[in-house]
Amino acid sequence: MKENDKKSELVEIDDVDREIINLFNNDGRMSYRKIAKRLDVSIGTVHNRME
């Protein structure tokens, strides 16, 4: 693939994204369920933010 064929996409992150990143930095094996519970969000929210 040529360099100019690649699509680049900027994604804005919010406080929830930052907290998810922080928790994974501290424990990369932490489950989505545990992260969701700590942040008081749904498991689906964590899953979607990780994609």
User: Coil, strand or helix: which one is 7?
Assistant: coil
| Total-model pTM | 0.75
On whether residue 42 sits in a domain, the answer given is yes
On whether residue 4 sits in a domain, the answer given is no
Alpha-carbon distance of 27 to 20, in angstroms, equals 11
| Tally of domains within the chain | 1
Residue that is written with structure tokens 């930052």 in the block: 18
On whether residue 41 sits in a domain, the answer given is yes
Query: Residue 43 sits in a domain of what CATH number?
Result: 1.10.10.10
On whether residue 43 sits in a domain, the answer given is yes
On whether residue 23 sits in a domain, the answer given is yes
On whether residue 6 sits in a domain, the answer given is no
Fill in the DSSP letter of residue 10.
-
Whether the per-residue pLDDT at 6 is higher than 80: the answer is: no
**Domain span holding position 43:** 15-50
Alpha-carbon distance of 50 to 3, in angstroms, equals 26
Q: Interior CA angle at 46 toward 19 and 40, to 5°?
A: 65
Q: What is the pLDDT of residue 14?
A: 96
Q: What is the pLDDT of residues 15-47, one digit of tens each?
A: 999 999 999 999 999 999 999 999 999 999 999
